[in-house]
Structures are given as structure tokens and as C-alpha cells.
Amino acid sequence: MLQDGRVAVDVPPAAHLQAELKPIVPVGSTTTLTVRLVRPESKRDDSTAPPGFAGRPVTVTVVPRGLRLLVGARRTRRVRFPARGSAVLRFPLLALDRGAAEVTVLVRGEDEFPLASVRLRSEIVAADDHDQAGLARTTAPVLEPDPGLVDRPTLAIDEEVARGRSTLHGVLTVSGHRHRFRTAVRDTEAFLGDLRASLAEAREAGVDLPRPERGRAVEARLREIGADLADRLLDRRTIDLLWAHRDELDGLVLQTTGETGIPWELLVVRRPGVAPADGARFLGETGMVRWIADVAPPSTLRPTSADRTVSAPRSATEIASASVVALGVEGGAPGGAASAMRNGAGVVIECGGRSGGVGSDRFLAAFAAELASGAPVDRASRRAREAAREAGESCALAYAVYGHPGARLAT
């Protein structure tokens, strides 16, 4: 049985991920993140034991924000699950940015899809500005991923942030190929600020033209932005793979540990070294759906007419069910889509296409209609973008859809 993107069984999980970190850390000091892969003792006969992980090789990856791994420490370590007891891994961290910090811990199998993930928070304070001892602990079951997700093309982005700089660790998996890349953004705030300004300018392109012509003018400008983004964020091999397998990208899943500010949907798939031509495909046109690593979105969406506020203090705009919400980016709630998903939303559409509102009405209406007809989220996303483009609302090409790509409305 599938549940929240992973395989659920009618017996307790055969393994758990546990992690612990100090909840308060003085700036400039070091601390240790302790991770355990726990295999509970079983009283069952081996023939009736639940599916296990004993001896299976997995990777454990830590993704810090506000903290940094000490020089020489590896962010990803390969380990085999113990047959009994636990395997213990320790990651030394340096506290850099005063204020709220966090670390995401992921256990991944050989197919790179998370088997388990947890997120720990810590407050970085001035030296000697605390008297709290102890550790914050969290745990999560280790479960087999949904085979329907594992087989999809995937772009995984782990973002580390410290001292205003962002490091993106990426993995593209498509058609049996897997490639890792790393991108540094030296001034994250300036990068995102310039990007938002460019998108705002693009929305004003052809403002005096009739709607169809204006839509084409907006799309042309978005294509320029998307091509530039691809060149800045991806290496040559990633661009090569996307182009070579451009017809095999439908249903693309973007895994992210917390990076939500970059419009990955706008990245343009084109022949390397060639200017983007009219009709060059945006990643969003593949039906791409974002998957936040520490959230397990439901695979079934429950229709209801009840109003619902998903991410206080900002109300979410209901589309087709209480589990599907749309958020504007202007003055949105802290954490945006990530916060809404962690607060129980099944699907979140984050709209950046029209200031002062949730954006393309045609996109939202088409998305709702597709879900109502029984389409999964990824297909609804793809067809809603097509409908918005035909209506001259090309700004919807930049919208981000979060959730389970195969989720459908309950019947």
C-alpha cells in the first residue's frame, strides 16, 4: 500500500532515522549533529519479519542552513544498515549566522529518492548568551519509496546557506543517467533580488499590446530569463542531458531541502551553446512538481467546501479542495509554500505572476478542472500551463506546484 509517497506496510517500520542537535549554539562555536540508523530488535521469525534494510547500502546527507560543516567533514556518508542495533554517524558543525538555523538530514537509497528525512532547528546566539543544556531530538520511519516516484526523472537540489552564500548540490536523474553538479551563489539575497526584478519587468513586457501579443512578449522575456538561469545554475553536462532527453522529461520531480526562491520551472531546455529559440521548452512544461524533502504530501486529496487557512497569517485561496491552496508571493506568509506544506496542505501552487493577487485565473481554473476530471497533479500542472498560455497569461509559466505528482482527488 502506498502512503504519502512511500510504501506503507501493516507492521511497524523495520528501521528508523534518529537525529539530535543542541537547540542553542553560541556563534563561532562548534557543535555535533548525531545521526542514528536504528534497526529495532525483532521477536518475529525471519520469514514473517517486515521488509527490512539490514545490510542495504544507503547514504546519509546533512544539509545545514546557518551552520557549516567543518573543513574536511563530508556532507554525505555511505553506510550499511545494521542487522541489529544502530549505526551512529557524527557530523561536526560550525555556527555562523546568528538567529534561526536548521539542518535537514536525508537517508537516500541507490535511486537517490529519500527513504527518510528529518529537520532539526537550532538558535545561534551571541557567545555566553544562553544557559540551556540538553539536545533536541527527532525521529522518522525509514520506508520504501513509491516505485511510481522512483521511476520519474528527478532533479534533486540540496541547498546549504551560510553568511549570505548559497551552495546548491544537485543531482539530475533521467533515462538511466545520473549526474551530480555543484553551484555556488555568492550573494543569495542580491541574486534573488535581481531575479525578482527581472520577473517583474517581464510581466510588464508589451503592456500596450492586445492580450495575445502581450502574452507572447512576456513569454519571450521569460525565455531569456530561463536560459540565463540555466547557464548560471547548471553545468554543461546537466544541460547536455536535459537536451538529449528532452522528450523524456514529462513528470519531472524537483526534490528540494528548502530552496524555494528560484523559479526552476523557467529553466529552458535547449541545445548547449545555442540561444533559446521560440518554442524552447521550459522545465515547468514537463508538469514538474516540487517535493520538499522533510514533508510527505498525501497521494489522495480530499474535496471539501470548507474554508481553510493553511499558513497563518496569510489565508490560502481554495481551488478544488481544502488540500489544494494557492499562495501569492507578494507579502506572503513566512516560509511560503514550504510552511503551507508543513502545516498540512496537500498541494500548494505558489504564484508569482501578478502583484497583489494569486495570479493567472486561467491557470487556477484549469488546474481545478483537471483535478476534478481525475487527472494527477503533474498532468493538471502541465495542462493548466498550456491553458494559461493560450489565454495570454504566460506569467503562469513561472508558477511552482508543490505536492505529490501522482496525487488525485478522492472519488
Kindly report, residue by residue over 297-345, the tens digit of the pLDDT.
888 887 643 333 333 323 444 434 447 777 764 434 445 788 888 888 8
- Which DSSP symbol is given to 145? B
Q: How far is CA 402 from CA 40, 275, 309, in A?
A: 33, 30, 17
Single pTM value for the model: 0.86
How does DSSP assign 360-395, residue by residue?
A: -HHHHHHHHHHHHTT--HHHHHHHHHHHHHHTT-GG
On the question of pLDDT at 198 being above 80, the answer is yes
Q: What is the rounded distance in angstroms from the CA atom of residue 65 to the CA atom of residue 100?
A: 9
Beta-strand pair 281-282/16-21: unpaired
Kindly report, residue by residue over 5-39, the tens digit of the pLDDT.
444 444 456 789 999 999 999 999 999 999 999 98
Q: How far is CA 193 from CA 123, 165, 168, 298, 384, in A?
A: 26, 14, 18, 33, 28
Helix, strand, coil tally for the chain in percent (to 5): 25, 35, 40
| Three cell numbers, residue 86 | 544502530
More confident residue, 388 or 133: 388
Q: In 3D, which of 358, 307, 349 has the Cα closest to residue 328?
A: 358
